[in-house]
Amino acid sequence: MKRSARVGAVVGGVLLGAFVVVAVAGSLHGSPTELVGAPLEPPSGAHPFGTDSLGRDLLARTGQGARASALMALGAVGASLAVAVPLGMASGWRAGGWFDAATMRVIETTQVVPPLILVLLLLGAAGPTATTLGPVELTPGTRIALCLAVAFVPFFARVARSATIAERRAPYLAELQRLGVGRLELAVGELLPNVVPVLAGQALLALAIVIFAEGGLSFLGLGVPPPAPTLGGLVAEAGGQLLGAAWWCALVPGIVLVAGITGLNLAADATVAAVATRSTRNVP
Amino acid sequence: MTGFLLRRAGALVLTVVLALAGLFALMEAAPGDPSDNFGAVVVADPEARAAIEAQRGLDASAPARFRAFLADALRGDLGTSYFDGSDVASSIGAAAPVSLELGLLALVLVVAPGAALGALAARRRGRPAELAVSVASLLAVSMPSYWLAVLALVVVGERWPELVPGAGGYVAFADDPVANLRTMVLPAIIVGLGAFALVARAVAASLGPALDEDDATFARACGLPERTVTWRIAGRRAAPGVLSVAGLAVGGLVTGAVLVESVFQLPGLGQLLVTAFTRGDLPVALGGTLVTAALLLGVNLLVDAAIVLLDPRVARSRSNLPGATS
């Protein structure tokens, strides 16, 4: 790996570490909804991030928000991968076949609007009331995570598909098939391990985008409803009240948000670079 | 060339019809009934409710309503708002110029400089300039526009209130061009940051290797100035790679507008869409989405045409339609 890529990876790791520390420390610091001090206290020993306009501790709120963002990102990306990877691999296995053609057409159709607008549409269609999926009642957070997951399926399916197409050309797959190895075994045992590294970088990038998008939805008032704190919601509260003197209300949650997104972007870049180095080294 | 573009346009029409069907299905799947949103007097009275449903064609079967929806959409009739009964197409027409101005300002102020910085990074590989550009684009892509917008409002708005459009403080360009531009510059810069990063990275990634190609080396050996080598020789080779992110960049501008317009109270498409989604006003939301989709599809078609003009081989290989792979 190049030196600049290594530095990037280290900086990304530090930023992600800081995000996790804030999430854990904030969750341990106290209740995010209890009124613990005077409104708009500047940062101090008792309240390291200060208090908000109602006198709630901002470290506890930021920490809870960071934890909620991280959980939502992991859930949404995990659910999306679970659907998209089999879909993309099935598509790429017979690239150009009818299944591939149909899947790609549907995927292209969902990509005619930017992902954020797709998520807004899905949320709009899901309606404002509590949704039930069969016997399970979905909390607002789960519903938003599911909508984000759906919006990422086209993206991951495309990546999995093109990685599969690239790997399908390798002669060993045809040889193994001739030896009588089953298709499912080939797909899971041979193809998947070669698709996963390509997906890893994209999944990290998607985590960054989900954290950004979840913040955006909360910011627009379409995310997890108050009083549960979210990073985007905290920024929106600060903006709504135009707290010129209380700079920390908008600055601190935003910095945590930026640390998380930057860290994930750097980690994604480092992973992509590492995978590229690995694959060039393997080629004779 | 023409055949290729016709094929692309044909695929595009199919995509548009599929997208419209998807939007219609979403509207059908949404809980509640369109007539729930009429005035309370109407909702409570079954007879009045049935009359309005019949008047608006809401009592027809789903396929019949889809045909009507499709025909209306193709004629430019996007229905009326559930919320206040206003015409969706004219609301969009009123909001579009604001977003268009924001987007154009972002292109000029942020995205074009992004391309120039990307070219700088490509020419100074391994030097501090490249590092500076990559750090700048990383920060631009990592700082959420809604956070920057709030900071701008709080910090800049506190000291120089005339630079930000305050609540209801939007001034139309036609009324006062100077005041309009003064308040639109800051939002436009924030809207453009995502596209800035995308374009700077794409230019650096495509132009860098192109400057090392044999034709560029040969041109240099012949004594052509570096400026000519960059723009005429390597630039031509790098252009398709840069153009292929244009759709994403425009998508980024749209996303930025959606998030930023509501902070600065700019009465553009983004604010229209967000208001529609918060109120559950599906006709307005769908109309706004359709306009966005039309914009992106149009940009993609133009990009396809430009790529074919630059490299006619693309049109001959049927399987390698841009966008069909990866």
CATH number of domain containing B172:
1.10.3720.10
Q: Contact at 8 Å (CB) between A102 and A127?
A: no
Indicate whether B175 belongs to any domain. yes
Indicate whether B1 belongs to any domain. no
pLDDT at A77: 94
CA distance A36 to A30: 9
CA distance A255 to A268: 20
Test B151 with A251 for CB contact under 8 angstroms: yes
- Asked if residue B28 has pLDDT above 60, the reply is yes
Give the contacts of B133 (CB within 8 A, at least 6 positions apart).
B117, B118, B120, B121, B200, B204
pLDDT band for position A263 (cuts 50, 70, 90)? very high
- Asked if residue B326 has pLDDT above 70, the reply is no
Among B158, B289, B325, the residue with its CB nearest the CB of A121 is B289
Task: Kindly state the percentage of chain A with pLDDT values over 90.
Answer: 14
- Asked if residue B239 has pLDDT above 50, the reply is yes
Q: How far is CA A220 from CA A18, A72, B147, B308, in A?
A: 26, 17, 12, 40
Test B146 with A232 for CB contact under 8 angstroms: yes
Mean pLDDT is highest, among A66-75, A275-284, B14-23, B144-153, for A66-75
Average pLDDT of the segment spanning B99-106: 90
Residue with the larger pLDDT of the pair A39 and B293: B293
Test B15 with A261 for CB contact under 8 angstroms: no
Specify the 3-state DSSP secondary structure of B300.
helix
pLDDT band for position A134 (cuts 50, 70, 90)? low
Query: Structurally, how many domains does chain B consist of?
Result: 1
pLDDT at A157: 92
Pair of tokens at residue B239: 């252009």
Average pLDDT of the segment spanning A199-209: 91
Q: In Å, how far is A245's CA from the nearest CA of chain B?
A: 9
- Asked if residue A3 has pLDDT above 50, the reply is yes
Q: Which positions 162-221 of B are in contact with A (Cβ < 8 Å)?
A: none
Give the contacts of B164 (CB within 8 A, at least 6 positions apart).
B152, B153, B156, B157, B183, B186, B187, B264
Test A125 with B27 for CB contact under 8 angstroms: yes
Test A122 with B292 for CB contact under 8 angstroms: no
Mean pLDDT of chain B: 80
Average pLDDT of the segment spanning A107-115: 83
- Cα angle: B115, vertex B121, B126; to 5 degrees: 165
Among B154, B274, B293, the residue with its CB nearest the CB of A220 is B274
- Asked if residue B34 has pLDDT above 50, the reply is yes
CA distance B105 to B96: 14
Q: Could you give the angle at which helices A248-282 and A3-29 cross, rounded to 10 degrees?
A: 140
**Alpha-carbon torsion B48, B49, B52, B53, what sign?**
negative
- Asked if residue A129 has pLDDT above 60, the reply is no
pLDDT at A137: 66
Q: Contact at 8 Å (CB) between A249 and A243?
A: yes
Task: Kindly state the percentage of chain B with pLDDT values over 90.
Answer: 4
Q: Tell me the domains of chain A and their CATH numbers.
A: 3-282 (1.10.3720.10)
Indicate whether B35 belongs to any domain. no
**Alpha-carbon torsion A227, A257, B142, A235, what sign?**
positive
Residue type, A230: T
Q: How far is CA A160 from CA A92, A107, A194, A202, B244, in A?
A: 8, 13, 10, 10, 20
Q: Considering only A31-40, A165-174, A238-247, B282-291, which range has the smallest mean pLDDT?
A: A238-247
Average pLDDT of the segment spanning A120-144: 71
Indicate whether B74 belongs to any domain. no
Indicate whether B30 belongs to any domain. no
Test B18 with A242 for CB contact under 8 angstroms: no
Alpha-carbon dihedral B298, B302, B308, B309, rounded to 10 degrees? 160
Average pLDDT of the segment spanning A124-140: 65
- Asked if residue B36 has pLDDT above 70, the reply is no
Indicate whether B199 belongs to any domain. yes
pLDDT band for position A281 (cuts 50, 70, 90)? low
Q: Contact at 8 Å (CB) between B166 and B157?
A: yes
- Asked if residue B324 has pLDDT above 50, the reply is no
CA distance A27 to A62: 9
- Cα angle: B186, vertex B187, B193; to 5 degrees: 95
pLDDT at B226: 84
pLDDT band for position B72 (cuts 50, 70, 90)? confident
Q: How far is CA A132 from CA A96, A129, A137, A142, in A?
A: 38, 10, 4, 11
Average pLDDT of the segment spanning B157-182: 71
Average pLDDT of the segment spanning B101-106: 90
pLDDT band for position A81 (cuts 50, 70, 90)? very high
B320 CB near a chain A CB, below 8 Å?
no
Indicate whether B52 belongs to any domain. no
Q: Supply the DSSP symbol for A137.
A: E
Q: Which domain holds residue B310?
A: 88-319
Nearest residue on chain B to A244, judged by CA atoms?
A: B154
pLDDT band for position B325 (cuts 50, 70, 90)? very low
Pair of tokens at residue B149: 């917008």
Residue with the larger pLDDT of the pair A180 and A238: A180
pLDDT at A240: 62
pLDDT at A31: 72
| Chain centroid, CA B151 distance in Å | 24
Q: How far is CA B186 from CA A242, B180, B254, in A?
A: 17, 11, 16
Residue type, A75: G
- Asked if residue B27 has pLDDT above 80, the reply is no
Average pLDDT of the segment spanning B161-173: 67
Indicate whether B31 belongs to any domain. no
Q: Where are the alpha helices (DSSP H) in chain B?
A: 2-29, 40-44, 46-55, 62-75, 88-106, 112-123, 128-142, 145-151, 157-159, 177-211, 214-221, 226-228, 235-243, 246-264, 269-279, 282-310, 313-316
